[in-house]
Amino acid sequence: MESPAESNLVRAFTQLARSANLSGVPGIVTLTAQLVNGWAILLDRSGTVAAASGASRIHISDAIAVAEGRSRDARISGLQRFPVGPPSSPSAFLVVSSKGRTVSHVSAVADHACALLSLIADPLRSPRLESIAQADAVELLCGSDAAAAERTAHRWGLTGERFSVVAVGAATRSLVLEPVVAGWLRDLAVVAPMATDQDGLVLVVPQRHVEALESIIVAAAADRRVPFHCGIGRLLALGSLSASRSQARVALEVAIADRRPVQRFDALATIDLVLRTMPRDTADALRAPLAALDGYPEETRAELLRSVRVFLAFNGAWEASAAQLRVHRHTLRARISRFEELTGLSVGNSDDRIALVLALRTEADSG
C-alpha cells in the first residue's frame, strides 16, 4: 500500500506529465514551483533564463550563480540545482527553492521535471544557436539561388508558391524586438525564420500568413500602444525575395516616419518611392526655388506655401481651392501669382507642377 508521501509524488508526476503535454517548458517550470512550494528557474548552458516561475530579480541572480557552480555567491541559501539532459553534459539547469517540503520530495519532483524537460526540449538548443540558424535561413531564403532557397524552405516547413519579407522595427532602439515578434508568431502558430537586420528584424513569411501577421501587429499597436512598426514587401517566389527584402525596408522607413503600425510596399504612392530613394543633392536642388520665400515673415511664407499645396492638391481648380483655404478666389490668384514671380516656377507648366509637388514634399519632410 502506498504511503501518503508516495501518493503525493504519483499525483505530482501525473500533473507534470499533463502540464508538459499542454503547456510545454513554461508549464513544467510553473508547476514545479507550485509542487515544491517555492520558485523554479530554468537556465540554458549560457546562463540565459529560459523559463521562470515565482522568482524575482534577486532570485534570478542567485539561480545563475548556483547554475554556474558559484553557490557561495548566492544571497539565498538552500537552493538546489538539477541538470537537464545527461549529467555529464547537461543542456540546462533547473534551480529551485522550497519552503516546507522535504528534501526527498523536492528532489523527486525536480528530477521528474528535468526528465520531462529533456524529452521535449532539444538538448542542443540555445538562444545563440537558434538565432544563428534563423539568420542563415533568412539569408538563403532571400538569396538568388532558388534551389537552395527551396531546400531551406522545405527544411523549415515553409510551404507555398510565394512569400513576403516583413521588416519590423521601432522608432527607438531601447525596445527589444525579438520576444514580441516571437510571441506574435506563437499566437498565430506560424513558422517564419527571422534575423536581425540593420533596421530591426526581417522575417520570411508564407503568403497565407501575411494578412494574419499584419492584423495582429495593427491590433497590438491599437490595443496596447506598442510602438513597433512593420514594413511588408511584395509577395514573390523563392529566388526573388531579395527584392521583397529591399521593399520591406523602404516600407518600414515610411511606417516609422508616418507613425503607422504597418505599411505595405504595394500601397506606397509613386511619389513616396521617388522621395525615399532621391539623393540628397537632388532634393536640395528641388527646394532651391523655395529659398526665394525665406526673406518673408514666417506667417506669410507659410501662407504662400499652403496656398500652392492646396491648389496643386485640387488639380488647379480655383473655386475648390479657394473654398478649402476659406479665401476669395481673387485672393488665391494673387497669392499664386506672387509665388510664381518669386520662385520662377509656373503652376500652369506641367514640368514645373511636378517639380513643385516634389519640392513641397521635400520641404515638409525637411521641416
Question: Over pLDDT 70: what percentage of the chain?
Answer: 89
Phi, psi values for residue 229, rounded to 5°: -130, 155
* pLDDT exceeds 60 at position 224: no
Is residue 301 included in any domain, yes or no? yes
- Sign of the alpha-carbon torsion through 305, 311, 315, 316: negative
Do 150 and 264 lie in one domain? The reply is yes
142, 163 Cβ separation under 8 angstroms: no
* pLDDT exceeds 90 at position 228: no
Do 239 and 336 lie in one domain? The reply is no
Do 76 and 142 lie in one domain? The reply is no
Q: What is the mean pLDDT of the chain?
A: 83
Do 256 and 134 lie in one domain? The reply is yes
The CATH number covering residue 356 comes to 1.10.10.2840
20, 116 Cβ separation under 8 angstroms: yes
Quickly tell me which residue has 516561475 as its cell: 53
Do 155 and 256 lie in one domain? The reply is yes
> Domain ends where: 242, 268, 294?
268
The CATH number covering residue 172 comes to 3.30.70.260
- Sign of the alpha-carbon torsion through 65, 71, 75, 78: positive
Tally of domains within the chain? 3
Q: Which of 47, 6, 34 is nearest to 98 (CA)?
A: 34
pLDDT in tens, 39-53: 999 988 777 888 888
pLDDT in tens, 118-175: 877 654 455 565 777 888 999 999 999 999 999 999 888 888 889 999 999 876 655 6
Maximum mean pLDDT: which of 114-123, 191-200, 208-217: 208-217
Q: Structural domain of residue 139, as residue ranges?
A: 127-268
Collapsing DSSP states into helix, strand and coil, what is residue 227?
A: coil
Is residue 273 included in any domain, yes or no? no
HSE (side-chain half, CA atoms, 13 Å) at 170: 15
Do 226 and 140 lie in one domain? The reply is yes
Calpha distance 113→94 (Å, rounded): 9
